[in-house]
Amino acid sequence: MNRKRGVILLSGGMDSATLLYLAKRSGYDATCLIFDYGQRHRKEITAAQRIARRAGCNAHLVKINLPWKGSTLLDKKVKLPKGDIHSRSIPSTYVPARNIIFLSFALSCAEAINARAIFIGAHTEDYSGYPDCRKEFFSAFKEVVKKGTKAGSKDKGIAIEVPLINSSKKEIVWLANSLKVPLELTWSCYQGARLPCGKCDSCLYRAKGFLEAGLKDPLHDR
């Protein structure tokens, strides 16, 4: 059987883990890309690798080097900002062009392995401040796929799937639950300590999601 192939951007957090299980349920033979981009929360890389293994998928670890940094997520000398999920401005954890870089690698991989789609777990609730998580950005990137690649310019092309874009964190928790995503393997905290800090943006969003969904975060049972 020749199943359709999909490339999944897997970060190790709960959104992209849910995305992976969603792509699998939609019949995709999934190839995961996991990025080591110098992020201070190295734990998410191990988390992503475990999730891919659990899901029985191929995974490529892609190491990239951003020597110019430009983000508190990359620079250990700078203190992480205190979480503030009500702020409307772009947080200092924003990594310049991160999703653009990730998608361009996914595109290269998709073209090389004849994949039909690329899946990215961005959504607007968490990352209202991140320009590369907005719908307008993904629309623009679809044009790049069409105009700038060999495979993308063909009839079927390569789809950019952002199925969680309109979901809230609460809905993602429910969806993950129904897809039996191993949430206990996921990692969200920007600090890479043994336990989640509970204070950074990423922890705050996760806690809010579980709270609103009325479910318990299995990470806290460990």
Stretch that binds a second copy, among 10-18, 80-88, 99-107, 165-173 (CB under 8 A): 99-107
Site string for a second copy, 162-201 (x = CB under 8 A): ----------------------------------------
Site string for a second copy, 117-146 (x = CB under 8 A): --------------xx-x-xx-xxx-xx-x
In whole angstroms, the minimum distance from the beta carbon of 184 to a second copy comes to 29
Q: 160 pairs with which residues across the strands? A: 118
The set of long-range contacts for 65-71, using a CB threshold of 8 Å and a minimum separation of 24, is: 65/37, 65/38, 66/37, 66/38, 66/95, 66/96, 68/96, 69/38, 70/95, 70/96, 71/95, 71/96
| 160, 149 contact by CB (below 8 A) | no
**Nearby residues of 85 by Cβ (< 8 Å), 6 or more positions away:** 126, 201, 204, 205, 208
Residue 88, interface with a second copy (CB under 8 A)?
no
Residue 62, interface with a second copy (CB under 8 A)?
yes
Stretch that binds a second copy, among 68-76, 174-182, 199-207, 210-218 (CB under 8 A): 68-76
Other CB atoms within a 10 A radius of the CB of residue 80 amount to 21
Radius of gyration of the chain (CA): 17
Q: Which is nearer to a second copy, 38 or 209 (CB)?
A: 38
Residue 109, interface with a second copy (CB under 8 A)?
yes
In whole angstroms, the minimum distance from the beta carbon of 69 to a second copy comes to 6
Residue 215, interface with a second copy (CB under 8 A)?
no
Among 29, 111, 171, 212, binds a second copy (CB under 8 A): 111
* d(C-alpha 102, C-alpha 41), whole Å: 17
**Backbone dihedral angles phi then psi of residue 19, each to the nearest 5 degrees:** -55, -45
**Nearby residues of 29 by Cβ (< 8 Å), 6 or more positions away:** 3, 4, 5, 6
Applying CB under 8 A, the residues found at the interface with a second copy are: 60, 62-71, 90, 94-101, 103-105, 107-113, 131-132, 134, 136-137, 139-141, 143-144, 146-153
